[in-house]
Copies of this chain bind each other. A is one copy, B any other.
Amino acid sequence: MSERASSENVPGSDQGSWQPIARSRSHELVVDQIEEQILAGTLRVGDRLPGERDLASHLQVSRAAVREAIRSLEAQGVVRSAVGSGKDSGTLVSAMPSEALTRLLRLHVALANFPMDDVVDARVMLERSSATLAAHNAAPANLDAMREALNGMDSPGVDQETFNDLDTAFHVAIAEASGNRLVADMTIALRDSMRRPILQALHALGPDWEGVADQLRADHRAIYAAIESGQGETAAELVDQHIRSARAALPIAGTAGAVHSPTPTHSRRPRS
């Protein structure tokens, strides 16, 4: 970590100030227009966009350009399309931030843009706070969800995949109990981004995985007890230890693989 801002010492503007210059692709212009309306508040959740053909003719671009723009927004969980006629059809402004965030982080973790240890540290930061808040705010329904996950993990003969999904459900339940949707969604996304590496690690453990599972079960029970009894600080501490020890216990690959070649910030030579 460092070697950043090596050749750009222009005062008064940090390294992030260099706008990526031009934006000419037509679908991006369409995206910009739609984004602008969202940012300005003109378009709100539930509103319908004009039909693709209408939009295309109004914006003076092809329908393909409009569709590509919609795909882009769709990938960000901002709109959703449905065929047919009637109120729920067409392309309308939606809100699926959790799914979008999850897809995004999963891919970037897989690409090792985000090393596994960074993910673990981020989880600790967020989940410590979530646990503290959960200890104060948890509604009965939240506690039920946690308990349900715990009980599921105790089922005899549970396989690695189910166990991990329930483990995730437990952590998600804590995040949702915090009352902060953003933090909950980020937690979900981070946890999910580790799913594949975790499963690989669990399988790599072979029969020993039951031992690890037992440790996790004990951790979870202790965390649950702290939250249920309103001991925020204790819960935070336990979550912290739990996440770190779990990471240590699992032979997770991920971060390996020599992440070389970090994009040399090519400066564009205009012409000669």
Binding site for B on A (CB under 8 A): 1-5, 11-12, 14-17, 27, 35, 38-39, 41, 44-46, 48, 64, 67-69, 71-78, 87, 93, 95, 97, 100-101, 103-104, 106-108, 110-115, 118-119, 121-122, 125-126, 128-129, 137, 139, 141-142, 144-145, 148-149, 151-152, 155, 165-166, 169, 172-173, 176-177, 179-183, 185-186, 188, 196, 257, 261-264, 266, 268
Chain B residues with Cβ below 8 Å from A185 are: 114
Partner of A87, one of B45, B119, B126, B264: B264
Interface SS of A by simple majority: helix
State how many angstroms separate the Cβ of A231 from the closest Cβ of chain B.
19
Chain B residues with Cβ below 8 Å from A128 are: 125
Contact between chains at B76 and A93 (CB < 8 Å): no
A-B contact pairs, 24 of them (CB 8 A): A1-B139, A1-B181, A4-B141, A11-B151, A12-B148, A16-B172, A27-B71, A45-B261, A46-B262, A46-B264, A64-B64, A75-B76, A77-B104, A95-B113, A95-B263, A97-B108, A97-B113, A101-B104, A118-B180, A119-B182, A122-B180, A122-B182, A125-B126, A186-B186
Chain B residues with Cβ below 8 Å from A266 are: 48, 87
Contact between chains at A121 and B71 (CB < 8 Å): no
Chain B residues with Cβ below 8 Å from A97 are: 104, 108, 113-114
State how many angstroms separate the Cβ of A157 from the closest Cβ of chain B.
13
Closest to A45 in B: B111
Partner of A181, one of B35, B39, B113, B139: B113
Chain B residues with Cβ below 8 Å from A180 are: 118, 121-122
State how many angstroms separate the Cβ of A262 from the closest Cβ of chain B.
6
Contact between chains at B111 and A76 (CB < 8 Å): no
Contact between chains at A4 and B176 (CB < 8 Å): yes
A101 to B165, CA, bound (A): 25
Chain B residues with Cβ below 8 Å from A108 are: 77-78, 95, 97
Closest to A151 in B: B11
Assuming the A-B contacts A44-B111, A95-B113, are A137 and B104 also in contact, with contact meaning beta carbons closer than 8 angstroms in the complex?
Answer: no
A230 to B261, CA, bound (A): 32
Chain B residues with Cβ below 8 Å from A41 are: 110, 257
State how many angstroms separate the Cβ of A17 from the closest Cβ of chain B.
7
State how many angstroms separate the Cβ of A80 from the closest Cβ of chain B.
10
**Interface-central residue, A14, A67, A137, A263, by most chain B CB under 10 Å:** A14
Contact between chains at A129 and B118 (CB < 8 Å): no
Contact between chains at B264 and A114 (CB < 8 Å): no
State how many angstroms separate the Cβ of A264 from the closest Cβ of chain B.
6
